[in-house]
Amino acid sequence: MLMSGLVLPGDVIPNTSKSSLKLGPGLLQLSSTSSKHVISTRAGLLNQTANGSSFWVESNSRRYVPAPQEGVIGVVTARAGGGEAYRVDIGSAHPAQLDGLAFEGATKRNRPILKVGSLVYARVSLAHKDMEPELECFDAQTRKSEGFGELKGGFMVKCSLGMCRLLLNARHFLLPLLGSTFPLEVAVGTNGRVWIQSGEVKQIIIVARCIEAADPDGGRMDENQIKTFLQKIDP
Amino acid sequence: MRPPSPSIPEREFALSVLKQSLRLDGRTPLEMRMPAFRFGPELGWVECALGKTRVVAHVDAKMVKPLPERPFEGIITIHSELSPMASTEYEAGRLSEEEVLLARLLDKVLRRSDAVDKESLCILAGQRVWHLRLTLHFLADAGNILDCACLAGITALKHFRRPDVEVIGDDVTVHPPSSRAPVPLSINHTPLCLTFAFFIDPETPPILDPAQLEATLSSGSMTLAMNAQRELCVVQKAGGVPLPVDEILRLVEVGVQKVKELDVLVEAALQEDWKGRRIEVR
């Protein structure tokens, strides 16, 4: 059973003096010589597990803060490091660095060349709040591409971070609903960007509008409302 | 911090969509987003939203000495500053090109078109006139912040009521709103702004009320300010796309229709808000 309450940044969280505590996103532990307490760094709903051992804050926003092992969609903005690496914009405060050899099976003689302006689906390998994040285009364990790499064609839409988390959840209704209507290929980045590819231009526009409509920060429609919406825009 | 230019898939997809006379948000090329108005508790405060683009306009008035070269006219000043709140493109304190164009156009449309009768703002010739200050706050820029700002500005001016003033000889009495109902401004006409965006490809039709991506990919734009009486107040054409005369005239005709519809909308919104207020008790 989960219990929740509204918190604002800077609020002190009660009942956190246990020795082994798991702090999830949105919480920070401040320790000084006199006291140790946990404060919230975001505005949102505070949740905790029933036995009070894990706490986290659920919130929605549009600005991305990079965290390691997250899949993100970036736009290549420049070639850096003497042509060996790429500078990629992932919507964070600092531009990210993607090494030219960070692809599956890439060697110095044989590696993909990305043009400025291309879209990539990459994994954040290094993220600290004061440094430039680093990206890699292969899975950490298997060292294979597993879907990472350049995204060709299609279209990219921006949405809130909460919407991305919903789309990544296999139990959310939207993508299966759209996928049952027409062929669809989607890449969801946790940085608030979604890449869409489908057979026809009109279908891509429909998917983009549905994502915007179901966004908790935008249309906030639920399943039935989306079905009505689909009837209206795709007769 | 300037945002990066659109990625190659976004650019190619958006241009191919526009070429087919479709738009990314499902509108037709010459369809405008429906404006939504929200009036504040104070008279002269209005928030105008065109889709996700939002601007707040606020009018206030105080009595000052008039300019020596124009002793019979009131003074109107417009304050509009783009801050990073509107979009990450704008930097606080740095005057960007968009800001300059915006300020110039607002000046032409709201001040120099004589929408508000300045002589009606005179209280005592040569000594006391009303100084109207229109302040615009840009809350969010999802494309076409210019049209939204003009709409908010003119609606705020129509919404505003100034205190009633009685002049007997040289004696000026300002009646507070609690004793005498405040008086509306004398508005000559309602100029409304429409922005069209053009693209290099000659097969792509011009679009009305561009969204952010469409505006970034466009290569030229034309802004028309007109009133419901079919009078052209301002024509501003920016960017190097050459346009044939008949195309411009066609867009002006389209503009006339849209302005008539917008005018009806603005009036309806003002009437609706007026019904809910208690300004005078008879």
What does the pLDDT look like over A48-105, one tens digit per residue? 888 878 888 888 888 888 988 899 999 999 998 777 899 999 988 889 999 988 888 8
Phi, psi (rounded to 5 degrees) for B197:
-115, 140
Are the Cβ atoms of A117 and B26 closer than 8 angstroms? no
Q: Strand, coil or helix: what is B128?
A: strand
Choosing among A205, A209, A220, which should be mutated to test the B contact, i.e. which has the most B CBs within 10 A? Answer: A205
Which chain B residues are closer than 8 Å to A153 by Cβ?
A: 9, 12-13
Choosing among B1, B5, B12, B13, which should be mutated to test the A contact, i.e. which has the most A CBs within 10 A? Answer: B13
Q: Give the global pTM.
A: 0.86
How buried is A109 (Cβ within 10 angstroms: 0-12 exposed, 13-18 middle, 19+ buried)?
Answer: exposed
Cβ–Cβ contacts within 10 Å for residue B279, how many?
Answer: 10
Are the Cβ atoms of A156 and B10 closer than 8 angstroms? yes
Please, which residues bridge with residue B36 across strands?
B49
What does the pLDDT look like over A128-176, one tens digit per residue? 888 899 999 998 888 888 889 999 999 999 999 999 999 999 899 999 9
Model confidence band, residue A1 (pLDDT cutoffs 50, 70, 90):
very low
Which chain B residues are closer than 8 Å to A204 by Cβ?
A: 13
Q: Give me the pLDDT at residue A32, please.
A: 76
Residue B1 near chain A (CB below 8 Å):
no
Model confidence band, residue A4 (pLDDT cutoffs 50, 70, 90):
low
Whole-Å CA distances, A202 to A173, A196, A206, B203:
21, 12, 6, 19
Model confidence band, residue A2 (pLDDT cutoffs 50, 70, 90):
very low
Choosing among B1, B5, B7, which should be mutated to test the A contact, i.e. which has the most A CBs within 10 A? Answer: B7
Are the Cβ atoms of B9 and A204 closer than 8 angstroms? no
Provide ipTM, 2 decimals.
0.85
How far is residue B214's CA from residue B177's CA, in Å, rounded to a whole number?
A: 46
Q: Give me the pLDDT at residue B280, please.
A: 58
Are the Cβ atoms of B8 and A115 closer than 8 angstroms? yes
Going by C-alpha positions, the residue among B157, B167, B164 that lies closest to residue B181 is B164
Q: Which of A117, A202, A208 sits opposite B7 (nearest CB)?
A: A117
Residue B239 has pLDDT above 80, yes or no: no
How far is residue A139's CA from residue A124's CA, in Å, rounded to a whole number?
A: 10
Q: Give me the pLDDT at residue B2, please.
A: 59
Q: Which of A119, A205, A233 sits opposite B24 (nearest CB)?
A: A205
Which chain B residues are closer than 8 Å to A191 by Cβ?
A: none
8-state DSSP, B119:
G
Segment holding A162, helix H or strand E? helix A161-168
Check if the beta carbon of residue A192 is closer than 8 Å to that of residue A62.
Answer: yes
Q: What are the DSSP E strand ranges found in chain B?
A: 35-39, 45-50, 53-64, 75-81, 122-124, 128-140, 161-162, 164-168, 171-175, 183-184, 192-198, 207-208, 220-226, 232-239
How far is residue A133's CA from residue B112's CA, in Å, rounded to a whole number?
A: 51
Q: How big is the A-B interface in CB pairs under 8 Å?
A: 46
Which chain A residues are closer than 8 Å to B217 by Cβ?
A: none
How buried is B198 (Cβ within 10 angstroms: 0-12 exposed, 13-18 middle, 19+ buried)?
Answer: buried
Nearest CA in chain B to A212: B25
Give the tokens for residue B234: 């301002």
Going by C-alpha positions, the residue among A71, A61, A52, A49 that lies closest to residue A14 is A52
- Dmax over Cα atoms in chain A, in whole Å? 66
Model confidence band, residue A31 (pLDDT cutoffs 50, 70, 90):
confident
Indicate the angle between helix axes A201-214 and A161-168, nearest 10 degrees: 110
Nearest CA in chain B to A114: B8
Are the Cβ atoms of B9 and A115 closer than 8 angstroms? no
